[in-house]
Structure 1
Amino acid sequence: MKNAVREYKDKHIDMEKLAGKIEEFFKNEKFKVQSVTHPKGTIIQAQKTGLLRTMIAADQSLTVTITGTPDDLTIRIGVAAWLKDLGIAAAEGLLVTPLLLFIEVPESLWVFEVEHNLWKYIEEQINLDL
């Protein structure tokens, strides 16, 4: 999975509220979560914890970027390196060139399942008129 992209036009989405709901989704699924808001958008990183996960892919996380405006919104979901200091400089890099910073990982049913469930959750939230 490099990254999946969906665009939402003319929906008037509360971007801050959507970002909070996405963080809530990950926390409910027992992920470690970090996020940063930047003038160009929001980045949310979620990492599954545990011994096996640590041994296999300690630096990988599901990464969501939310960019645009409430009426012209783009959401990207992919796997990227867990940034130890998800600050403004890191946010700038992920928001400006997200395709270059997402990493290739072996495809797994787990990644597909989480991505599928997250997209379903995002769609539900948008349809609830965030």
Structure 2
Amino acid sequence: MKTKDREFNGKNIDLDKLSNVVEQYFQNEKFKTQLGKHPNGTLIQATKEGLLRSIAGMDRSYSITISGTPDNVKISIGMGKWLQNLGVAAIESFLLTPELAFFEVPESLWGFEIEDKFWKYIENQIDLGIQ
């Protein structure tokens, strides 16, 4: 799995509201999140915390990028390294060179379930009109 992308055309989506909806979704699912904005888009990272993860050095997170215009939005989700102090350079690497920012992880039922639920939620919110 590198990234899974979806494009939404002709929907007049408020990109800031969409970013907040995505971040809120993961927070409601008990993920720690961070959001960073860049002129080319937004990066949201979501990770599960816990002692076992800390001991194992698991710094993986879901990385969601949102880019485009209100009438042509692209959302990508994949696994990436949790970035401390999310800054412009880090966000730019995800937005401009995603093939380097995301990494392969074995498919798991848990990961598939989270992504499937995420896409259903986002598509529903867009259909309801994030404007």
What is the TM-score when the length of structure 2 is the normalising length? Answer: 0.94
Match of 1:71 in 2: 71
Q: Measure how far apart 1:54 and its partner are.
A: 3.3
Please give the residue correspondences for 1:10-25 in structure 2 after superposition, counting only pairs within 5 Å. Answer: 10-25=10-25
Which residue identity is paired with 2:59? D
Structure-2 separation of matches of 1:113 and 1:57: 23
Which residue identity is paired with 1:37? K
SS in 1 for 2:11: coil
Task: Evaluate the alpha carbon distance shift between residue 64 and residue 21 of structure 1 in structure 2; reply closer, same or farther with a 3 A threshold.
Answer: same
SS in 2 for 1:44: strand
SS in 1 for 2:83: coil
Match of 1:5 in 2: 5
Q: Deviations over 1:84-128 (max 9, x none)?
A: 121111011111111221011121111111111110111011001
Q: Measure how far apart 1:2 and its partner are.
A: 1.2
Task: Evaluate the alpha carbon distance shift between residue 19 and residue 8 of structure 1 in structure 2; reply closer, same or farther with a 3 A threshold.
Answer: same
RMSD: 1.2
Task: Evaluate the alpha carbon distance shift between residue 116 and residue 55 of structure 1 in structure 2; reply closer, same or farther with a 3 A threshold.
Answer: farther
Identical aligned residues as a percent:
54
Instruction: Point out where structure 1 has 5 or more consecutive residues left out of the alignment.
Output: none
Q: Measure how far apart 1:55 and its partner are.
A: 4.3
Comparing 56-65 with 66-75, which one deviates more in the overlay? 56-65
Q: Measure how far apart 1:42 and its partner are.
A: 0.3
- Aligned pair count reads 130
Comparing 52-61 with 42-51, which one deviates more in the overlay? 52-61
Runs of 4+ that moved beyond 3 A? 52-57
Please give the residue correspondences for 1:31-110 in structure 2 after superposition, counting only pairs within 5 Å. Answer: 31-56=31-56, 58-110=58-110
Q: Deviations over 1:17-52 (max 9, x none)?
A: 011011111111110000101100000000011233
Which residue identity is paired with 1:59? D
